[in-house]
């Protein structure tokens, strides 16, 4: 028997077509390559969005509950305190206090919806439900998880923001066609906060660490120019506040709803684009490190 006749011929299927060695059942490396795609992203993050929708479809009241907190603040401060504080300095000069507070509460609504969805739910799925361990048993990778969860947080934050914009419109607190861009801007704000919240959740060890989330969110809500102009602070505090994310969100919303939109709005948009990119990258790397090791 010569060397050519002793060499194993490639297997053929029923049609007589030869299968390449990498596709034969006995070749483990080829089978692994077909099951697990190379890299960390399979382009199927939409399946996680669909899963989140199906899970929350029966808990719709829990999803919409975050909308009411800023609404109550608007009623108590925007219309209650407004009886004592008639006008306040806004982007284009003095403006009614309710019109000053409402855009800030809109930005805070997008922040709250995204942050708490990204931190609490991601931590539960990761530590207790082991959802992501099951996800990684499929062709999906850590980047799919990060993108899918961030997108769902964006959707939830967008629901809060859309409802609040409708309330503002009903009370006559929107004075400019630029307000049509307020909802896309809220989605960008929600995406930025969701990405950072996901990255922070990967570093949490127990439920006690969520006190730190509240410790970060509450000062942002109170001191980012939500209820009064930044000019009331000393100069060094103003410089610190101007670096915080909610301040940029509030300034962007006030500019859009009042109609005084300048080139500075692009700086606010760029801030959240960078924030979202950093958060998604860190979250994906952390999830990959924690789940694949």
Whether 272 maps to a domain, the answer reads yes
What are the tens digits of pLDDT across the range 255-284? 998 888 888 899 999 999 999 999 888 888
Q: What angle do CA 191, 119, 248 make, to 5 degrees?
A: 40
pLDDT (0 to 100) of residue 242 = 92
Question: Which residues form the domain of 70?
Answer: 59-291
How many CB atoms lie under 10 A from the CB of residue 13? 8
Please report whether residue 33 resides in a domain.
Answer: no
Q: What is the pLDDT of residue 41?
A: 58
Q: Do the domain assignments include residue 129?
A: yes
Helix (H) or strand (E) holding 95: strand 93-96
User: Tell me: the pLDDT tens digits for 86-139?
Assistant: 788 888 778 888 889 889 988 988 888 788 778 887 788 878 888 878 887 777
At 278 the pLDDT is 92
Can you name the residues that pair with 90 across neighbouring β-strands? 93
* Residue 47 belongs to some domain of the structure: no
pLDDT computed for residue 63 by the predictor: 59
Distance CA 254, CA 31 (A): 56
Residues in the chain predicted with pLDDT less than 70, given as ranges, are 1-44, 59-67, 292-293
pLDDT of residue 66: 61
Evaluate whether 166 touches 253 at the Cβ level (below 8 Å). Answer: no
Q: Quick one: pLDDT at residue 65?
A: 64
Number of domains, the chain: 1
What's the whole-model pTM score? 0.75
Residue 234 forms part of a structural domain = yes
Residue 205 lies in a domain: yes
- Let me know: does 137 contact 284? Beta carbons within 8 Å: no
At residue 40, the 3 state secondary structure works out as coil
Whether 243 is covered by a domain: the verdict is yes
pLDDT of residue 243: 93
Residue 208 lies inside a defined structural domain of this protein: yes
């Amino acid at each position: 028997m010569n060397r050519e006749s002793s060499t194993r011929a490639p297997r053929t299927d029923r049609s007589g077509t030869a299968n390449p060695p990498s596709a034969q059942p006995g070749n483990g490396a080829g089978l692994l390559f077909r099951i697990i795609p190379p890299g960390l992203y399979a382009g199927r993050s939409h399946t996680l969005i669909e899963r989140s929708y199906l899970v929350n479809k029966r808990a719709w009241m829990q999803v919409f509950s975050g909308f009411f907190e800023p609404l109550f603040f608007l009623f108590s401060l925007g219309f209650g305190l407004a009886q004592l504080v008639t006008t306040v300095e806004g982007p284009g000069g003095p403006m009614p206090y309710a019109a000053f507070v409402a855009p800030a509460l809109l930005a805070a609504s997008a922040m709250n919806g995204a942050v708490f969805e990204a931190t609490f739910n991601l931590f539960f799925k990761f530590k207790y439900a082991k959802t992501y361990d099951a996800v990684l048993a499929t062709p999906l990778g850590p980047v799919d998880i990060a993108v899918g969860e961030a997108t769902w947080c964006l959707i939830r934050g967008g629901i809060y923001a859309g409802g609040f914009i409708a309330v503002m419109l009903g009370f006559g607190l929107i004075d400019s066609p630029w307000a049509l861009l307020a909802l896309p801007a809220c989605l960008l704000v929600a995406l930025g906060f969701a990405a950072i919240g996901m990255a922070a959740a990967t570093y949490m060890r127990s439920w006690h660490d969520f006190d730190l989330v509240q410790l970060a969110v509450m000062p942002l809500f109170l001191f980012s120019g939500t209820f009064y102009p930044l000019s009331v602070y000393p100069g060094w505090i103003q410089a610190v506040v101007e670096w915080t994310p909610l301040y940029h969100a509030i300034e962007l919303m006030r500019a859009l709803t009042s109609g005084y939109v300048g080139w500075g709005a692009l700086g606010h948009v760029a801030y959240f684009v960078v924030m979202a990119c950093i958060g998604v990258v860190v979250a994906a790397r952390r999830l990959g490190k924690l789940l694949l090791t």
